[in-house]
């Protein structure tokens, strides 16, 4: 193997490919949820040291970056989205890395984890991705604020599933967390999960609006108890989106939930993750805190678009020794 080749074995080393049973949820246990605390200073100290302590280089770095691509929810959530833009994004999802770069790395075809769009573009994305195996994720329930009437939020989920979405990213009512109305939050997620049917539900906590890491932890537990398949940091529209302290807090609730119930829940950081080096930090955090089971697309996703462009540039640099212009790696 040459120094520029990355094999499938490297890409998938030690990563089991079995799929986990869905999180069925458990009865709401407020003693468990409200008994959790978050030591903010300790969490921040742990996260501050992580980027400096964890580094992978050369072929190993290329392998991890390729793995990161398979975990990206390639996303467009703009008011000026058009069918043409979504089709181009889907084409990029199916072929996220230029063929010459993959050939130099000794890799076959890879794809992103999903394409994420508004409901109005679900049918367009489903049609564009036909035959690729890439699922369409739809943001729903009055995204991003989640303030539309409840029956319309449920209906929006049902309509997106009917249109072909296999994953639904819902937003929780932040007021339930801020007022401590945990039963209402639990009931809301249960109703959303029922509306999803076979489609997987990702519960967006909008952590930048929850006030404290303790609230983030409590909301994470309640959403998982209610049957969320994934918990997700942010809509990408808040002033503060994914951060390492929030991620560490949520990841540790996932670990505890699995230890108590046997159900594995996925994790999705979203918003503000745009650099390849940042993806490596998140992947190392997942590996250290949750283990290899979570280093698969059905258990971990990045909510991002610009991240893919930077990863592709880093891969070209690995192959050629030169950085290329961003326009050589268009997203959509």
Annotation says 275 is catalytic: no
Instruction: Spell out the SS3 assignment of 195-253.
Output: HHCCCEEEEECCHHHCCCHHHHHHHHHHHHHCCCCEEECCCCCCCCCCCHHHHHHHHHH
- Please pick, among 169, 229, 278, 310, the residue that the annotation labels catalytic: 169
Contact call for residues 265 and 257 (beta carbons, < 8 A): yes
The active-site residue out of 59, 92, 232, 310 is: 232
Supply φ then ψ for residue 251, to 5 degrees: -60, -40
Our CA angle for 252, 69, 170, nearest 5°, is 55
Residues facing residue 200 across a β-bridge: 167
Query: Buried (b) or exposed (e) across 202-225, using 16+ Cβ within 10 A?
Result: bbbbbbbbbeebbbbbbbbbbbbb
58 catalytic residue (yes or no):
no
Stretch (H or E) spanning 261: helix 244-261
Give phi and psi for 75, each to the nearest 5. -125, 140
Q: Which residues are within 8 A (CB) of 322 and not within 5 positions of it... i.e. 6 or more apart?
A: 316
Structure token pair of residue 314 = 């880093």
Nearest partner of 303 among 19, 77, 15, 67, judged by Cα: 77
Q: Among 307, 304, 220, which residue's Cα sits nearest to residue 266?
A: 220
| Residue of 67, 268, 278, 310 marked catalytic | 268
Residue 232 annotated among the catalytic residues of the structure:
yes
CA distance 242 to 207: 8
User: Can you read off the two tokens belonging to residue 223?
Assistant: 């959403």
The residues carrying an active-site annotation are: 169, 232, 268
């Amino acid at each position: 193997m040459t120094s520029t080749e990355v094999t499938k074995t490297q890409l998938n080393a030690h990563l089991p490919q079995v799929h986990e049973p869905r999180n069925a949820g458990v009865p709401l246990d407020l003693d468990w949820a409200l008994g959790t605390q978050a030591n903010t200073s300790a969490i921040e100290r742990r996260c501050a040291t992580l980027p400096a302590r964890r580094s992978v280089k050369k072929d190993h770095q290329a392998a991890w970056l390729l793995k990161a691509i398979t975990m990206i929810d390639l996303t467009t959530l703009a008011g000026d989205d058009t069918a043409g833009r979504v089709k181009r994004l889907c084409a990029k999802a199916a072929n996220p890395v230029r063929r010459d770069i993959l050939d130099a790395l000794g890799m076959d075809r890879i794809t992103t984890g999903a394409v994420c769009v508004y409901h109005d573009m679900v049918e367009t994305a489903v049609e564009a991705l036909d035959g690729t195996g890439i699922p369409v994720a739809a943001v729903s329930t009055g995204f991003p604020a989640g303030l539309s009437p409840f029956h319309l939020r449920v209906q929006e989920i049902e309509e997106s599933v009917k249109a072909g979405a296999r994953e639904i990213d819902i937003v929780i009512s932040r007021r339930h967390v801020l007022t401590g109305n945990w039963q209402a939050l639990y009931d809301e997620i249960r109703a959303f999960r029922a509306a999803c049917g076979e489609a997987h539900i990702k519960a967006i906590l909008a952590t930048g609006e929850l006030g404290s890491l303790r609230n983030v932890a409590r909301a994470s537990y309640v959403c998982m108890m209610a049957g969320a398949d994934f918990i997700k940091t942010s809509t990408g529209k808040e002033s503060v989106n994914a951060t390492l302290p929030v991620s560490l807090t949520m990841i540790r609730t996932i670990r505890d939930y699995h230890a108590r119930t046997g159900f594995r829940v996925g994790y999705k950081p979203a918003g503000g993750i745009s650099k390849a080096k940042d993806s490596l930090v998140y992947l190392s955090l997942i590996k250290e805190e949750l283990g290899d089971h979570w280093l698969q697309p059905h258990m971990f996703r990045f909510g991002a678009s610009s991240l893919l462009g930077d990863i592709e540039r880093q891969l070209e640099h690995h192959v050629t020794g030169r950085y290329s212009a961003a326009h050589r790696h268009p997203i959509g």
